[in-house]
Homo-oligomer: A and B are copies of this chain.
Amino acid sequence: MDSLTTPVPDISRSEALRRRYGSILPAADGPWNETIAGLLDHRSVRGFLPDAVPAGTLETLIAAAQSAATSSNMQLWSAITIDDPATRKELATLAGNQKHIEDCPLYLCWIADLSRNQRLSEAEQVDFESLPWLETFMVACIDAALAAQNAVVAANSLGLRTVYIGAMRNDPARVAELLGLPPKSFVVFGLCVGYADPAAKHEVKPRLPQSTVLHRERYDATPETRDRAAYDAELENFSARNEMAATTWTKRMLNRMGPIASMNGRERLRATLARLGFDIR
């Protein structure tokens, strides 16, 4: 071991679960260690200090990312770091003015990348019949997500914080142009990495009770109505504590999923991806 620098969140399992679930705790006791404490301590951070990340951090995060499982070892993803301030600025603007894209010391774009295997197909003069299907598109997105999540866990273990930027999909064609992406590749999401600004408040956000999310043998929606009422109360308190408009999960979902306008143009994703060379049959 060259060095041991994991900042272990110094809280018990029960306290970590209380932060994550509020009053609706999972029943059983269970195993616990510093890695799991780190996972439960996750929160998305949008306020970063200007401090650079340590040398070699990027290579370590990518090594962690490449260590994630990948379907049939196809490795259908790539990553690009963006340092150029003008590119960062335009990405921040098209993401709906997300200033942290400009401010964070490390910005990574995660790419669902069928282009590499397309080039392999061309080099070997063998038609890849599996390329133009929803299945393969989905695998590329999932490969990218598994990889990115490993990078997030690694970053957290180094005392860094992150936030995913789904808004790269507001205008995937312009993002592809800015990053010089080949056809059959697109940015699934961005990722800001850096040290959290301690002046900003970043509390662990409660999630739905396990009884809503976890099923045994067969899907069972019975606890859902009860759980949602309890979760609405948790999230209303969370919003109030964190200086947001106090609102329930239900109200947030109605706002986020109700009107098409809240998709910020992402309802055009399929058409745009077709222009970028994706045939999603």
A interface residues (Cβ-Cβ under 8 A, vs B): 1-6, 8, 10-14, 16-17, 20-21, 26-42, 44, 54-60, 62-64, 66-75, 77-84, 87, 111, 115-117, 119-121, 123-124, 126-131, 133-136, 138-139, 141-142, 145-146, 148-150, 152-154, 157-158, 162-164, 166, 169, 179-182, 185, 188-189, 204-205, 207-208, 210, 212-221, 224-225, 228, 249-250, 252-254, 256-260, 262-263, 266-267, 269-270, 273, 280-281
Contact = CB atoms under 8 A, between A and B. Distances in A.
Contact of A254 (B126, B149, B224, B258): B126
A36 B157 contact: yes
A124 B232 CA distance: 14
B269 A135 contact: yes
Contacts of A3: 31-33
15 contacts: A1-B8, A1-B32, A2-B12, A3-B33, A20-B66, A21-B63, A31-B56, A31-B60, A35-B38, A39-B154, A59-B214, A66-B213, A73-B249, A111-B219, A138-B138
B74 A257 contact: yes
B142 A214 contact: no
A44 B248 CA distance: 40
Contact of A116 (B131, B139, B221): B221
A270 B134 contact: yes
Given A39-B64, A87-B217, 11 more contacts: A1-B12, A13-B60, A30-B55, A31-B57, A34-B35, A40-B64, A82-B217, A115-B221, A179-B215, A181-B219, A267-B281
